[in-house]
Homo-oligomer: A and B are copies of this chain.
Amino acid sequence: MQFTAQEISLLLNGTVEGDAFVKVDRLAKIEEGDTGSLTFLANPKYEQFLYTTNASIVIVNNDLQLTAPVKATLIRVENAYSAFTVLLEKYNTVKLNKQGVEQPSFIHPTAQIGENVYIGAFAYIGPNAKVGNYSKIYPNTYIADNVTVGNNVTLFAGVKIYFDCVLGDNVVIHAGAVIGSDGFGFAPNPDGTYNKISQIGNVIIEDDVEVGANTAIDRATMGSTIIRKGAKIDNLVQIAHNVEIGAHTVIAGQAGISGSTKIGEKVLIAGQVGIAGHLNIANGTQLSAQAGINSSISEEGKAWGGSPYMPYKDYLRAHSKLRKLPDLDKKVYELEKLIEELRNGNPAK
């Protein structure tokens, strides 16, 4: 699809400067813009590119003062960045605007499917499963028995949801993620072998949660593993059984949370962090990348780092000294010899 500068300006309530009929069909960064693309200038640091860009249209702030001639058509708006975000979202909505049921797909006769849904080929919707209105179930996705999927949910290709799990509205789950696999529970026998403990709970994912590609969230042994409203979880994250993730908490790639741990609200967990089981992590906690958390954190809003973890500032200070530990070791050895000399009555240089 192509749009003219005039059409876009109307949408953004802006003012056109230059050729109002120039057409664009894609969005670009200002340093990469070429003919047919639309870009924006918000950060003054990038202003130089405004005068050299080959983009056909640039969205700029109303108060921008030009210091050289500009080839592109400008659209002036109150806030160039947020105007551009509006276009980004519109663009993506169009891109992902799928509807209808592709064949072959498998929809069990007892499943309930809402209105205006997309169900891709090779998607599987099991007995008594429910899919809400405007939800998109991409190809090769598996929704097991008794699963409830809310309205306006997107499950990208190859997502697998085990039986009895519940997803709220506006949930987005990326390709390959697994929701509701068995918790890792085995009872040891005296001879060192293990008996499986059946995992009969489920996973509840509340509204507005996003889950990344190939992430795994295990079902509870009993009760529910819960991801609260608005939490954002990146790719390849491991969430074990009976964990609870608080509202609006963010978990970056490859982090892992062990069983029965309860993470508070608005916690920030960086990449590759590991958190042991049966802990409580206070609201607003910030954990830096690769941190290892082996005890509960009760004080809210503090930053921590290292493995085992310590206050983030201590972590930075300690590790800056770690590299010089061999020098310190050597110096102590030398001081020991000097003291020995002093104690032997030979203090002179």
Spell out A's residues near B (CB within 8 Å): 27-29, 32, 85, 88-89, 91-92, 95, 102, 104, 106, 120-122, 124, 138-140, 142, 144, 156-158, 160, 162-163, 172, 174-176, 178, 181-182, 184, 186-187, 192-194, 196-200, 210, 212-216, 218, 222-223, 230, 232, 234-236, 238, 240, 248, 250, 252-254, 256, 258, 265-266, 271-272, 274, 276, 289-290, 292, 294, 306-308, 310, 314-315, 317-326, 328-329, 331-332, 335-336, 338-339, 342-345, 347-349
Please name all residues of chain B whose beta carbon is closer than 8 Å to the beta carbon of A104 when the two chains form the complex.
Answer: 104, 106
CA of A339 to CA of B321, assembled, Å: 23
Contact between A253 and B232, CB atoms less than 8 A apart: no
Contact between B184 and A158, CB atoms less than 8 A apart: no
Secondary structure class of chain A's binding surface, majority of residues: loop
Contact between B121 and A124, CB atoms less than 8 A apart: yes
CA of A142 to CA of B216, assembled, Å: 19
Given A274-B290, A342-B343, the answer on whether A157 and B156 have CB atoms closer than 8 Å is no
Contact between A336 and B326, CB atoms less than 8 A apart: no
Contact between A216 and B216, CB atoms less than 8 A apart: no
Given A91-B200, A197-B88, A321-B326, the answer on whether A236 and B222 have CB atoms closer than 8 Å is no
Given A198-B88, A235-B181, the answer on whether A175 and B142 have CB atoms closer than 8 Å is yes
Contact between B121 and A192, CB atoms less than 8 A apart: no
Shortest CB-to-CB span from A7 to chain B, Å, is 19
Contact between A186 and B232, CB atoms less than 8 A apart: yes
Please name all residues of chain B whose beta carbon is closer than 8 Å to the beta carbon of A347 when the two chains form the complex.
Answer: 342-343, 345
CA of A345 to CA of B343, assembled, Å: 10
Contact between B234 and A176, CB atoms less than 8 A apart: no
Chain copies in complex:
3
Shortest CB-to-CB span from A324 to chain B, Å, is 8
Chain B minimum-CB-distance residue to A81: B187
Please name all residues of chain B whose beta carbon is closer than 8 Å to the beta carbon of A122 when the two chains form the complex.
Answer: 106, 122, 124, 140
Please name all residues of chain B whose beta carbon is closer than 8 Å to the beta carbon of A121 when the two chains form the complex.
Answer: 106, 124
Chain B minimum-CB-distance residue to A221: B88
Set B144, B181, B230, B252: member contacting A194, Cβ < 8 A: B230
Shortest CB-to-CB span from A86 to chain B, Å, is 10
Contact between B235 and A218, CB atoms less than 8 A apart: yes
A-B CB contact pairs (8 Å), 23 listed: A89-B198, A120-B124, A138-B142, A156-B162, A158-B176, A176-B178, A181-B212, A181-B213, A184-B232, A194-B248, A213-B216, A216-B236, A236-B236, A289-B292, A318-B323, A322-B322, A331-B336, A332-B332, A332-B335, A335-B336, A339-B339, A342-B347, A343-B348
